């Protein structure tokens, strides 16, 4: 179900995660968050645990997940999940399924931005690491967690995308013949490429979930002061990180939209939306292409065939 065209949440780019969840009672809710050791993931865990949710806290190693959980008041359970490694994803999903009977929210927060060109060789084809982590790792994880989402009375998938999806290749959108970026690698464009894939995943997920108890949404957190691109060699990203301070948001502001999308009662049953500043934001360009979304889903299914649930 879409939101009414004139919907306004009352929040904006300066709103914080605490402000957009004020008054929320999440007692009895189980919310899975990836990338909890720092930045938006840690803030989302802190705020949603404060509101009463049991946080299933995923990070690349069990040590970093446990450390983050130890620093947050409330109920949290740590798990190791390296989104660059599908074996780790499956191990994590299996362990979660053994311990929990349902999930009310899966918040796919973890991601990487503009690293040096790195290839992942776990799938049917070599993949550039941002595509493998930001998109395909989340694709595998969500598919494995689907039974837990179906077991909840009402469940939400929140995918952290980025406005940078517009920097993906203008002509093709998704480089089906160059997913390892063997030619023309640019860290920021490859980041946008991976986030366009996330936007398309949301579009196809929403269609597949229509009429079920599960909804999907994608969010743009804004330009945030985090360590997301700490190892980048991309000059454009270094420039933005150095001089973009006046335009950047704090971490509490950056976590607002994903916490709002994950929990706000006004979004019950709302499916397939894209949000920024805690309000709907129309997708543009390739992100509106349903045929491209289906093609990408089919490609992802092929690439990750060995790691997807057999049913």
Give Cβ neighbours of residue 275 (< 8 Å, ≥ 6 apart): 217, 218, 219, 220, 257, 260, 261, 281
* DSSP secondary structure letter of residue 61: S
| DSSP bridge partners of 257 | none
Q: Positive or negative, the Cα torsion across 293, 296, 300, 302?
A: positive
In whole angstroms, what is the distance from residue 222 CA to residue 262 CA?
A: 17
Cα angle: 6, vertex 161, 147; to 5 degrees: 95
Q: Which of 123, 165, 185, 191 is catalytic?
A: 185
d(CA 85, CA 121): 9
Quote the CA–CA distance of 176 and 298 in Å, as a whole number. 11
Say whether 123 is catalytic: no
Are 216 and 155 a contacting pair, CB within 8 Å?
no
Task: Extract the tokens encoding 24.
Answer: 């929320």
Cα(278)–Cα(260) distance, rounded to whole angstroms? 7
Q: Interior CA angle at 17 toward 16 and 23, to 5°?
A: 110
Q: Known catalytic residues?
A: 185
């Amino acid at each position: 179900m879409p939101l009414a065209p004139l919907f306004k949440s009352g929040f904006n780019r300066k709103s914080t995660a605490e402000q957009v969840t004020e008054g929320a009672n999440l007692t009895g809710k189980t919310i899975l968050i990836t990338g909890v050791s720092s930045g938006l993931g840690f803030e989302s865990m802190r705020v949603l645990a404060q509101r009463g949710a049991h946080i299933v806290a995923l990070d690349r190693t069990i040590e970093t997940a446990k450390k983050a959980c130890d620093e947050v008041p409330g109920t949290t359970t740590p798990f190791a999940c390296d989104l660059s490694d599908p074996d780790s994803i499956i191990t994590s999903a299996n362990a979660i399924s053994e311990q929990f009977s349902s999930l009310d929210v899966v918040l796919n927060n973890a991601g990487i931005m503009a690293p040096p060109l790195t290839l992942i060789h776990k799938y049917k084809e070599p993949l550039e690491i941002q595509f493998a982590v930001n998109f395909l790792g989340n694709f595998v994880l969500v598919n494995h967690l689907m039974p837990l989402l179906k077991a909840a009375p009402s469940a939400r998938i929140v995918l952290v995308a980025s406005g940078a999806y517009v920097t993906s290749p203008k002509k093709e959108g998704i480089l089906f013949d160059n997913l390892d970026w063997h030619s023309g690698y640019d860290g920021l464009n490859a980041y946008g490429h991976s986030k366009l894939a996330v936007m398309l995943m949301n579009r196809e997920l929403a269609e597949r979930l229509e009429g079920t108890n599960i909804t999907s949404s994608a969010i743009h957190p804004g330009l945030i002061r985090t360590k997301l691109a700490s190892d980048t060699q991309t000059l454009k990203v270094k420039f933005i990180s150095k001089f973009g301070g006046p335009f950047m948001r704090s971490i509490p502001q950056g976590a607002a939209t994903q916490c709002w999308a994950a929990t706000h009662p006004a979004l019950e049953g709302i499916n397939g939306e894209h949000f920024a500043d805690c309000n709907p934001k129309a997708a543009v360009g390739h992100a509106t292409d349903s045929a491209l979304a289906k093609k990408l889903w089919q490609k992802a299914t092929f690439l990750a065939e060995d790691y997807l649930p057999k049913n």
